[in-house]
């Protein structure tokens, strides 16, 4: 029986597009944010990554409380700076990126996913503006049911307005007739 | 027969986990992912959508459950 030879696929060796989303600790001062991000990009460049696009860190309220063990202590976070970087890197370099992100104390959590070169964000609203209350409102407002309920409520106001104007006009005409 | 899939109608090929405005359209007020039966999203995009929502939840952009 002939032995099967397994050749390593060339696909895995080619650079791929990855996206790294990260949450920076809120303890980082606004002035230091830029340096943190540039440090991150420099490290990524060291590992052979080229930055395609990026989203500057925005201060957000987290949807739920997160915990991270720092110096054998559970540290809880309710707010963080959320940023992302899209990079092109060879798959073998991604292990180094993971190690770096895991070791970085300033990063609460990160997400490393395969992505595409094109811009994938379509919505316009920046994440930083999405505070908790607004998020809740968005959920109920933008569902189809909420829209259906809101539509009839707005209509009577529009209908009432011309009637009120007509009634006022009638009253004015009557007064004028009386005066005459 | 015309398609009812929101993503096909709007020619959205990649569903981004950062796109909260779109993702929220497919969540119930309690934060659960709506069934494709209810929203009309095709199977392929429903899988992409649920992955994107789960990424957003992991990053704390969306809640696992809305109280």
A95 with A28, same domain: the answer is: yes
The count of domains in chain A is 2
Judgement on whether residues A28 and A108 belong to the same structural domain of the protein = yes
Is B40 at the interface with chain A, CB within 8 A? no
Instruction: Tell me, yes or no, whether A105 and A26 share the same domain.
Output: yes
In terms of domains, do A106 and A169 share one? no
pLDDT value of residue A119: 83
Strands A50-70, A16-24: pairing is unpaired
Fold of B6-58: 30s Ribosomal Protein S18 (4.10.640)
Listing DSSP states for A31-83 in one string gives HHHHHHHHHHHHHHHHTT-EEEEEEEEEEEEEEEEEEEEETTEEEEEEEEEEE
pTM of the model: 0.73
A117, A152, A167: which is the final residue of a domain? A117
Q: Are residues A157 and A92 in the same domain?
A: no
- Please tell me whether residues A37 and A76 are part of one structural domain: yes
| Domain extent listing, chain B | 6-58
Whichever domain contains A34, its CATH number is 3.30.70.60
If asked whether residues A155 and A86 sit together in one domain, one would say no
A-interface mutation test, from B45, B60, B65, most A Cβ less than 10 A away: B60
The verdict on B47 touching A (C-beta cutoff 8 Å) is no
Same domain, A101 and A149: no
Name the closest residue on chain B to residue A144, using Cα atoms.
B25
> Does the beta-carbon distance from A111 to B63 stay under 8 Å?
no
| Structural domain contains residue A77 | yes
Asked if the Cβ–Cβ distance from A84 to B63 is below 8 Å, we say: no
Domain that holds residue A99: 12-117
A123 located within any domain: no
Residues of B in contact with A63 (CB under 8 A): 57, 60-64
Chain A interface residues (partner B, CB cutoff 8 A):
21, 23, 55, 60, 62-64, 66, 80, 82, 84, 109, 111, 113, 115-116, 118, 120-125, 127, 130, 135-136, 138-140, 142-143
Q: What pLDDT, on a 0 to 100 scale, did the predictor assign at position A80?
A: 96
Instruction: Sheet containing A107-114: give its strands across.
Output: A50-70, A73-89, A16-24, A107-114
Q: What is the tens place of the pLDDT at every residue in A90-100?
A: 988 999 999 99
Domain assignment of residue A18, yes or no = yes
Question: Do residues A53 and A101 share a domain?
Answer: yes
Residues A19 and A82 in one domain: yes
On whether both A45 and A79 belong to a single domain, the answer is yes
Per DSSP, what are the bridge partners of residue A75?
A: A68
Selecting from A66, A109, A123 the residue whose C-beta is nearest the C-beta of B22 gives A123
pLDDT of amino acid A42:
93
Q: Which residue, A100, A117, A134, sits at the end of a domain?
A: A117
Ordered per-residue pLDDT tens for chain A, 180 residues: 455 555 555 456 789 999 999 999 999 888 889 999 999 999 999 999 999 999 999 999 999 999 999 889 999 999 999 999 999 999 889 999 999 999 998 999 999 999 998 887 776 665 655 545 555 544 444 444 433 333 333 333 444 455 555 666 677 666 766 665
- C-beta atoms of A21 and B18 within 8 A: yes
Mean confidence (pLDDT) of chain A? 77
């Amino acid at each position: 029986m002939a032995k099967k030879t397994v050749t390593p696929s060339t696909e895995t060796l080619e650079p791929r597009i990855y996206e790294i989303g990260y949450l920076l600790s809120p303890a980082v001062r606004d002035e230091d944010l830029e340096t943190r991000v540039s440090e991150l990009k420099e490290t990524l460049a060291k590992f052979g990554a080229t930055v395609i696009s990026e989203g500057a860190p925005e201060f957000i309220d987290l949807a739920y409380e997160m915990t991270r063990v720092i110096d054998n202590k559970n540290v809880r976070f309710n707010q963080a700076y959320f940023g992302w970087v899209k990079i092109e890197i060879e798959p073998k370099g991604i292990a180094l990126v993971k190690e770096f992100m895991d070791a970085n104390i300033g990063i609460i959590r990160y997400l490393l996913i395969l992505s595409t070169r094109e811009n994938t964000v379509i919505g316009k609203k920046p994440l930083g503006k999405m505070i908790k209350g607004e998020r809740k409102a968005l959920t109920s407002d933008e569902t189809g049911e909420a829209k259906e309920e809101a539509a009839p409520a707005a209509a009577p106001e529009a209908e009432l307005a011309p009637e009120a104007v007509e009634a006022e006009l009638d009253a004015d005409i009557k007064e004028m007739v009386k005066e005459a | 027969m015309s398609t009812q899939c929101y993503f096909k109608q709007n020619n959205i090929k990649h569903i981004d986990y950062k796109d909260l405005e779109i993702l929220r359209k497919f969540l119930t007020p309690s934060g659960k992912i709506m069934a494709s039966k209810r929203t009309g999203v095709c199977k392929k995009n429903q899988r992409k959508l649920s992955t994107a929502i789960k990424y957003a939840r992991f990053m704390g952009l969306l809640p696992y459950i809305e109280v």
